[in-house]
Amino acid sequence: MTEFVRKRVANAKNDILSGLTVALALVPEAVAFAFVAGVDPLVGLYAAFMIGLITSIFGGRPGMISGATGALAVVMVSLVAEGNAMGAPGEQLGLYYLFATVILMGGIQMLAGVLKLGKFVRLIPHPVMMGFVNGLAIVIFLSQLGMFKEFVDGEKTWMQGGDLILMIGLVLLTMAIMWGLPKIKATSKLPEALIGIAVVSAIVIFGKLDVATVGSFIKDGGGEGLKGGLPQFQFDIFSKIPMNFETFKFIGPYSLILAAIGLIESLMTLNLIDELTETRGNSNRECLAQGGANIVTGLFGGMGGCAMIGQSIINIKGGGRTRLSGIVAAVTLLLFILFASGLIEQVPIAALVGVMFMVVIGTFAWSSFRILNKIPLTDAIVLIAVSSLTVFFDLAVAVIAGVIMSALAFAWENAKKIRARKHIKEDGTKVYEIWGPLFFGSIQAFNSKFDIANDPENVEIDFIESRVSDHSALEAVFNLVGKYEEAGKTVRIKHLSEECQALMIKASPRLANVIEHDVDDPRYHVMAKAMK
């Protein structure tokens, strides 16, 4: 017990300082995503607090940060708009439909955890993973460019002249502090992001510089400020929207899409953090935690969310390794809302943009440029395609498309590997020794190996170096046997695995006479064990 406590207390300082940094970075992100979704900033901030706290305590990946995200916000836009159109002007019915959708979304995610579907994240190939982080880095970078705009006569336009130079200067100063601080031995253990934000904030406040701050960002977007109370249970959900099939038909598709995007982004981020920390998280536990967090968030007035790769990397780079870092980030965010909104509203946007730009640099897989001409062409195409789709569509579309492309490429490559080595025994029997996997993609090549019309009376097909992988393959073997029998020839099948034998005999009992069950060949027993 003492050792258990000692290991966790040893990193407490890093966890706390890293959590404070993350809390600061969460504020403009949560506010911005709330504006994207068309809801009040507090709806985004409450989501960041509740999801961050619950997943930090119960999630499958210590050190990973969750909250309101842009990937979900862009889907919520049409949901909120359509929901508002169903009610009277000013009724904000879309907000309550959003809460109901987030609750259902959480239920779907918890079901995925119960069914242990999180393990399927292991099927995501490395090129898809690299494309994901590259695309996400570009998305984070592009999302920060909007911070270089200002309101002029009610219109949002790009900064110009002195304002632009000052903004760029403060961003570069923040980045320089974050880059240079770890190189100074005496300060190598200080959270560079937090120091950068503090230094730039002090320059702006004491220098009375006229720059965009968190407070002006919220007010420019139509919000009234960060100040708020504790999240309240949303009893109105069950009275303002009808609980019937029509409502389910409306929110159901949105819930499925949001659940899928949330889980894919969370599990991909979990994998990335696993690689950075050289540890392993629990994907099914993360599904349950994300689902439970979204149910609670929907019931208490939050917009829902999932893992945030940018903030998670800030946390890991800042030394956050345990659940304490996420808990500190979430609780600090709530304290900002309750007591310190005035101070946080003075933090310059430039400092937070600088932090996010350093996240972009740390997230992007720069090695992908070096290996593009060294990896198979299909993998290079997948990497580039996933990066592009992440930028132009969304993460779920990109990852699903990448997995499908990789699977098709894998199937095509294996389809070409089927071989048949032929020889004649002393008794005149022709033997076909099959090499390579037999599945739906290799059936055509498999069939082309046989010369039924010119083969002798007795034929033997040996599968010791092959495996019958699916129903299409079983059907191909069944049809081949039928063709030999129609030609009046005898065919025997050797070295099928016990599983394949059982399946073939179940599909056609007469094949029991064609398959050799007792094989006196030590290679067969070794192969049979390896296939189990």
Residue 324 belongs to some domain of the structure: yes
Residue 458 belongs to some domain of the structure: yes
Q: How confident is the model at residue 6 (pLDDT cuts 50, 70, 90)?
A: low
Residue 164 belongs to some domain of the structure: no
- pLDDT at residue 508 greater than cutoff 90: no
CATH number at residue 448: 3.30.750.24
Residue 308, phi then psi, degrees to nearest 5: -115, 110
- pLDDT at residue 152 greater than cutoff 90: no
- Residue 511 and residue 478 in contact, taking contact as beta carbons nearer than 8 Å: yes
pTM (predicted TM-score): 0.73
- pLDDT at residue 531 greater than cutoff 50: no
Q: How confident is the model at residue 303 (pLDDT cuts 50, 70, 90)?
A: very high
Q: Domain check: are 377 and 461 in the same one?
A: no
Q: Domain check: are 383 and 451 in the same one?
A: no
Q: How confident is the model at residue 186 (pLDDT cuts 50, 70, 90)?
A: low
Q: Domain check: are 471 and 381 in the same one?
A: no
Amino acid identity of residue 213, one-letter, is: T
Expressed in angstroms, the distance from the first to the final Cα of the chain is: 41
- Determine the number of helices (DSSP H) and then strands (DSSP E) in the chain: 23, 8
Instruction: Show the tokens assigned to 210.
Output: 């006229």
The neighbour count for residue 451, using CB atoms within 10 Å, is 11
**In this prediction, what percent of the chain has a pLDDT beyond 90?**
28
- Residue 70 and residue 48 in contact, taking contact as beta carbons nearer than 8 Å: no
What's 398-455 look like in SS3? Answer: HHHHHHHHHHHHHHHHHHCCCEEEEEECCCCCEEEEEEEEECCCCHHHHHCCCCCCCC
Average pLDDT over residues 372-397: 85
Residue 485 belongs to some domain of the structure: yes
Q: Poorest-confidence range of 104-118, 402-416, 441-455?
A: 402-416
Q: Domain check: are 237 and 130 in the same one?
A: yes
Q: In this predicted structure, what is the pLDDT of residue 9?
A: 67
Q: Domain check: are 430 and 516 in the same one?
A: yes
Instruction: Show the tokens assigned to 4.
Output: 């258990």
Q: How confident is the model at residue 330 (pLDDT cuts 50, 70, 90)?
A: very high
Average pLDDT over residues 137-149: 83
Q: Domain check: are 119 and 15 in the same one?
A: yes
Residue 481 belongs to some domain of the structure: yes
Residue 377, phi then psi, degrees to nearest 5: -55, -40
Q: Domain check: are 462 and 378 in the same one?
A: no
- 291 by DSSP, 3-state: which? helix
DSSP class of residue 62?
A: T
Which DSSP string corresponds to 123-158? GS-HHHHHHHHHHHHHHHHHHHHGGGEEEETTEEEE
Q: Domain check: are 383 and 466 in the same one?
A: no
Element spanning 466, H or E: strand 458-468
Q: Domain check: are 508 and 381 in the same one?
A: no
- Residue 387 and residue 134 in contact, taking contact as beta carbons nearer than 8 Å: yes
* Structural domain of 442: 416-531
Q: Domain check: are 104 and 42 in the same one?
A: yes
- pLDDT at residue 269 greater than cutoff 80: yes
Residue 167 belongs to some domain of the structure: no
Q: In this predicted structure, what is the pLDDT of residue 64?
A: 94
Residue 264 belongs to some domain of the structure: yes
Residue 359 belongs to some domain of the structure: no
For CA atoms 187, 189, 191, 193, give the dihedral sign. Answer: positive
Pairing type for strands 419-424 and 458-468 reads unpaired
Instruction: Show the tokens assigned to 355.
Output: 């932090």
- pLDDT at residue 532 greater than cutoff 60: no
Q: Poorest-confidence range of 113-127, 222-236, 517-531?
A: 517-531
For residue 58, count CB atoms less than 10 angstroms from its CB and return exposed for 0-12, middle for 13-18, buried for 19 or more.
middle
Instruction: Show the tokens assigned to 219.
Output: 């007010």
Q: Domain check: are 472 and 521 in the same one?
A: yes
Angle in degrees, 0-180, between the axes of helices 41-58 and 283-299, rounded to the nearest 10: 140
Average pLDDT over residues 334-339: 89
Q: Poorest-confidence range of 107-121, 263-277, 509-523?
A: 509-523
Could you give the CA distance from residue 490 to residue 201 in angstroms, rounded to a whole number? 86
Element spanning 113, H or E: helix 93-114
More confident residue, 35 or 370: 370
**In this prediction, what percent of the chain has a pLDDT beyond 70?**
92
**Of 170, 144, 146, 166, whose CA–CA distance to 156 is shortest?**
146
- Residue 262 and residue 305 in contact, taking contact as beta carbons nearer than 8 Å: yes
Q: Domain check: are 242 and 327 in the same one?
A: yes
**Of 431, 464, 427, 472, whose CA–CA distance to 449 is shortest?**
431
Number of domains into which the chain is organized: 2
